[in-house]
């Protein structure tokens, strides 16, 4: 399979290494490593330089997504995994281009099974605690000092889920504003320090107790595993055209694991 990874940063290289390990050392050298393609000096990829990729993984930067997808579509690619954040304004254009070419892209604010399930836990927590006025929700995220976007794409998605389901929170608090958040505002704290690959914490604080849900990434292996799962999902059956959320892959993975009777648990 001819595979291209757009983006030669930490994430792109980690995904390339993960795919190489999955393919195995006994494969021919030309098939062993995905092609990792950095940003061209012109700013846009020439489709003639891409060959005929079977799969493209987008792991570059938000402002490059729409152009990279367009170039890969012109080169004949019809399967994509988008692991980049910060391209929300171009989402409609990307979806239209995919549909026009009968192509499919798996996208997610974070291609981690743990993050996908964490979001569902947060949904349930808001459902349980939202009606109780004493429990005030908040969100904290911490990433490496050099991470550019703040808050992270995952934090934005978690914020969206909280605001969509909470009976009293309607908007995000402006971190530049003076004074405390208004009662209908959700406060999001962003930390950029050190080398942390990612920590997200959703809490609910009441006068006498605090409930917290925390997800900590130790390295990028969870993101690599998610990209592998998405690529496998695309390759194993015909899929709907356009943008498909990573949650669909998570649902398939869960449904593929039959529930064990309680007597067998433990």
Other C-beta atoms closer than 10 Å to the C-beta of 47 total 16
Residue 147 designated active-site: yes
Q: Three-class SS of residue 106?
A: strand
What is the DSSP code string of 177-191?
Answer: SSSPPPTTEEEEEEE
Starting at the edge strand found earlier in the chain, the sheet holding 185-192 runs: 171-172, 185-192, 136-143, 199-206, 209-216
* Torsion angle (degrees, nearest 10) of CA 98, 101, 102, 103: -50
Residue 173: active-site member: no
Catalytic residue among 143, 169, 173, 200: 143
Cα–Cα distance for residue pair 62/124, rounded to 1 Å: 30
Nearest to 91 by CA among 82, 100, 103: 82
**Sign of the CA dihedral with 221 first, then 222, 228, and 232 last:** positive
Q: Are 168 and 204 in contact (CB under 8 A)?
A: no
Look at residues 138, 150, 3, 174 and name the one whose alpha carbon lies nearest to residue 81: 3
Active-site residue among 45, 101, 147, 173? 147
Q: How far apart are CA 122 and CA 266, in angstroms?
A: 26
**CA–CA dist 122, 131 (Å, integer):** 14
Catalytic residues: 143, 147
């Amino acid at each position: 399979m001819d595979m291209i990874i757009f983006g030669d940063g930490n994430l792109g290289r980690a995904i390339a290494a993960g795919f190489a390990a999955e393919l195995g050392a006994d494969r021919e050298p030309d098939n062993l490593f995905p092609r990792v393609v950095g940003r061209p000096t012109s700013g846009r990829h020439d489709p003639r330089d891409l060959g005929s990729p079977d799969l493209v993984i987008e792991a570059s930067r938000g402002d490059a997504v729409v152009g990279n997808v367009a170039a890969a579509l012109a080169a004949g690619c019809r399967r994509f995994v988008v692991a980049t954040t910060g391209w929300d304004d171009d989402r409609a254009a990307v979806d239209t281009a995919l549909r026009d070419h009968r192509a499919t892209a798996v996208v997610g604010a974070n291609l981690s099974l743990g993050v996908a399930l964490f979001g569902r836990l947060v949904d349930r927590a808001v459902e349980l605690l939202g009606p109780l006025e004493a429990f005030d929700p908040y969100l904290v995220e911490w990433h490496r000092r050099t991470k550019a976007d703040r808050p992270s794409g995952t934090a934005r998605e978690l914020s969206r889920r909280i605001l969509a389901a909470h009976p009293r929170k309607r908007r995000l608090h402006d971190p530049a504003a003076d004074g405390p958040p208004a009662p209908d505002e959700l406060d999001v704290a962003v930390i950029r320090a050190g080398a942390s690959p990612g920590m997200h914490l959703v809490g609910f604080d009441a006068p006498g107790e605090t409930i917290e849900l925390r997800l900590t990434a130790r390295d990028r292996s969870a993101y690599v595993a998610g990209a592998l799962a998405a690529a496998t999902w695309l390759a194993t059956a015909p899929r709907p055209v356009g943008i498909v959320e990573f949650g669909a892959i998570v649902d398939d993975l869960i449904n593929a694991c039959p529930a064990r009777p309680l007597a067998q648990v433990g």
